[in-house]
Amino acid sequence: MVVQRGESSRRIPARWLRLLAESPSDVDASNGHRRFDSVSLPSEFKVRTAILDEETGQWEIRFEGETSGVLYDFDRLLGMASSDELHGPERTAFSSADAPMRAVDYDMLEAPAALRSFLDTLLRRGYARVREVPNRMEELVGFARRLRLEQGLIQPGPFEQSRVSEDDIADPSHGPSLHTDEPYRDPVPGFHVQLCLESNGPGGDTIVADGLSIAATLAAEEPFAAVELARWPMLFARTGPSIDRRRAVPLLETAADGSLQRITFNDRAARDFLCPDDRLPICAGAYDTLARIAQREGFQNTFRVKSGDLLIIDNERVLHGHRPVTGSGANRFACGYLDRGDLMSTWRRARAGLLD
């Protein structure tokens, strides 16, 4: 069957078309799973009739050997899920010229409309801030529940950083320099959450930098370097007496249309490129260029957080870190991670008005 609207068209085999059905009789309402397997359909499967309702945009399709028709959404037949349904709203790059993201009050997140707006901001800009959060470690779990996340926080976490400085970082892959968290995990944590428990020391400002802008600049200035970083994986590792985590992934990952999908960068956990010997000098030079671009002042959005401020960061897009603490004060944080799939599920339900 050929489905067409304007210049868009798609040829769909009959068996595959039947597998795409989402009518009540075909889908288990309790879990959304299909009730039948593809192998249960006969190899010779044909469409008998197809009628389009112009007002609703639905097709009623009848297959040979079946007595009742199946309804299909027109747009679904043309392209399945749209990009924003899969990845969220279109991303908006940010730089040091942007004012720090305005924070939302914690109590406001009880309202579905406010929660949807908060998640839109997070997915568009890569980070979002919440203020007036009770400054205790267990409140991170409460924050996850505000977001209607069934699984809560991913372990490890929450843990404390007693002081934002080289000597007091709890994990060697967390530090003051710009980075994405725990690149040696598979899957890598989707969103990093940090709640400021105490902030009475000079320095320690939070820094965020947008991977979209950093990668775009690298591609514009040294396009071959960007290609190499998207081609050859970096081995990230965390090893010790009781742990040996390793993961190989390109620093830059792109979607089918060439747009940046994910940036992974962590000086402390990077070990080596998995590439042929003759490509290593090129990859090493590209890595150095990427690191230097990230350190440019124009890419770094710096702001001060105070006790009760919570920051949530897209760990596949935004590089983050802290300036060193000076003097005798202390900045303490409780930290944890949120699963990307769970958060995206909440966003889709919020967009569909299902959180009321």
Question: Which among 104, 106, 133, 154 is positioned nearest to 196, based on CA atoms?
Answer: 133
Q: Both 15 and 125 in a single domain?
A: no
Q: Both 204 and 88 in a single domain?
A: yes
Q: How far apart are CA 65 and CA 5, in angstroms?
A: 28
Question: Which among 29, 36, 21 is positioned nearest to 76, based on CA atoms?
Answer: 21
Question: Would you give per-residue pLDDT tens digits along the chain (356 residues)?
Answer: 787 777 777 788 888 888 887 777 888 888 888 888 888 888 888 889 988 887 877 888 888 888 888 888 877 777 655 566 777 888 998 888 887 777 899 999 999 999 999 999 999 999 999 999 998 878 888 898 889 887 666 654 444 444 443 333 334 444 458 999 999 999 899 999 999 888 877 777 899 999 999 999 999 999 999 999 999 999 999 998 999 999 999 999 988 777 889 999 999 999 999 999 999 999 999 999 999 999 998 899 998 888 999 999 999 999 999 887 776 667 788 888 999 999 999 999 998 888 87
Find the CATH number of the domain harbouring 123.
3.60.130.10
Question: Which among 191, 189, 190, 197 is positioned nearest to 138, based on CA atoms?
Answer: 197
Dihedral sign for Cα 186, 237, 91, 232, please. Answer: negative
Q: What's the number of domains the chain is made of?
A: 2
DSSP for 60-116, written as a single string: EEEETT-SS-EEEEHHHHHHSS-HHHHH-SPP----TTSPPPPPEEGGGGGSHHHHH
Position 38, amino acid: S
Q: Both 193 and 98 in a single domain?
A: yes
Q: Both 118 and 184 in a single domain?
A: yes
Q: Which two tokens stand for residue 52?
A: 């389009």
Q: Both 72 and 115 in a single domain?
A: no
Residue where one domain finishes, among candidates 58, 80, 102 = 80
For 27, which DSSP code? B
Question: Which among 146, 103, 110 is positioned nearest to 125, based on CA atoms?
Answer: 103
Q: What is the largest CA-CA distance in the chain?
A: 79
Residue where one domain finishes, among candidates 31, 47, 80 = 80
Find the CATH number of the domain harbouring 50.
3.30.2020
What pLDDT score does 176 carry?
Answer: 56
Q: Both 102 and 195 in a single domain?
A: yes
Domain hosting 219: range is 83-356
Question: Which among 259, 271, 266, 264 is positioned nearest to 249, based on CA atoms?
Answer: 264
- Dihedral of the alpha carbons of 202, 203, 206, 208, in degrees to the nearest 10: 160
pTM of the model: 0.82
Q: 94-109: buried (b, 16+ CB within 10 Å) or exposed (e) per residue?
A: bebeeeebebbebebb
Peptide bond into 233 cis (omega under 30): no
Q: Both 123 and 61 in a single domain?
A: no
Question: Which among 128, 192, 145, 179 is positioned nearest to 334, based on CA atoms?
Answer: 192
Kindly report the backbone phi and psi dihedral angles of residue 237, in degrees, each rounded to the nearest multiple of 5, phi listed first. Answer: -150, 150
Question: Which among 191, 172, 180, 322 is positioned nearest to 251, based on CA atoms?
Answer: 180
Residue where one domain finishes, among candidates 32, 49, 80 = 80
Q: Both 67 and 128 in a single domain?
A: no
Q: Both 13 and 157 in a single domain?
A: no
Q: Both 92 and 52 in a single domain?
A: no
What pLDDT score does 82 carry?
Answer: 59
Q: Both 281 and 172 in a single domain?
A: yes
Q: How far apart are CA 104 and CA 286, in angstroms?
A: 38
Q: Both 227 and 336 in a single domain?
A: yes
Position 355, amino acid: L
What pLDDT score does 267 carry?
Answer: 92
Question: Which among 19, 18, 92 is positioned nearest to 50, based on CA atoms?
Answer: 18
Start-end of H helices in the chain: 14-19, 74-79, 83-87, 112-125, 139-146, 211-221, 223-231, 280-294, 340-351
Q: How far apart are CA 320 and CA 174, in angstroms?
A: 10
